[in-house]
Amino acid sequence: MDIRVTPLESDCFYHIYNRGINGEVIFKTDRNYLFFINKIKENLLSVCDIYAYCLMPNHFHLLVRIKSESDLQNLVKVQNLDKVDGLHSPQNIFSKQFSRIFNSYSQAFNKENSRHGALIESPFKRKIISSEDYLRQCIIYIHQNPCSENFETYSYSSYKTILCNNATSLKRDEVIDLFEDKENYVFCHKKETDYEF
């Protein structure tokens, strides 16, 4: 089924990922990474909870849980989407929020780099997470993504944030609970995951 017309389901976990058109670099500077992270916070926290992320120079990964139907309906009312059909209908609000991120980020990146045109592939890719084990494996996979660098010290991943005590919009406690405790979280990340795309 075409993911352009398949809405994401409430209360479900998804691995969301995408890349630059033709694998082009989409993050060149620290400022690019931070701007994208801020856009995610501004646009996605109203429609989903974020459990893990990793931004790489030419692609990104997010692990999210779509909010409940009642939470989304309240957002639909606030944004006056009650009577809208098509891609901007209530059941597609998550895709609409993602479109806002991509458009805003692409415009800023293009202006900064004197380029024009699309930057990120469309539609974004998604995989539904069907079990708790798959959920844990996906978190590990996302965090291990910077294979050319030490993932434990990589700056644009949620791995370190899950371990620290600083304020965060991530679902830190829920992630740690999936691994039972911080020690097991670290231990499980040291093993290779068998998670497949």
Q: Which of 55, 66, 57 is nearest to 8 (CA)?
A: 66
pLDDT for 76 beyond 80: no
Looking at residue 142, its pLDDT comes to: 96
**Structural domains of the chain in order of their starting residue, each with its CATH number:** 13-189 (3.30.70.1290)
Least confident of 55-59, 112-116, 148-152, 155-159: 148-152
Residue that the structure tokens 């929020």 belong to: 97
Alpha-carbon distance of 182 to 59, in angstroms, equals 28
What tens digit of pLDDT does each residue of 120-131 get?
A: 998 899 999 999
Q: Is 117 within 8 Å of 110 (Cβ atoms)?
A: yes
pTM of the model: 0.88
Strands (E), 99-165: 125-128
Looking at residue 93, its pLDDT comes to: 81
Tokens read off for 189 = 């990340």
Alpha carbon separation from 177 to 51, 60, 157 (Å, rounded)? 12, 24, 19
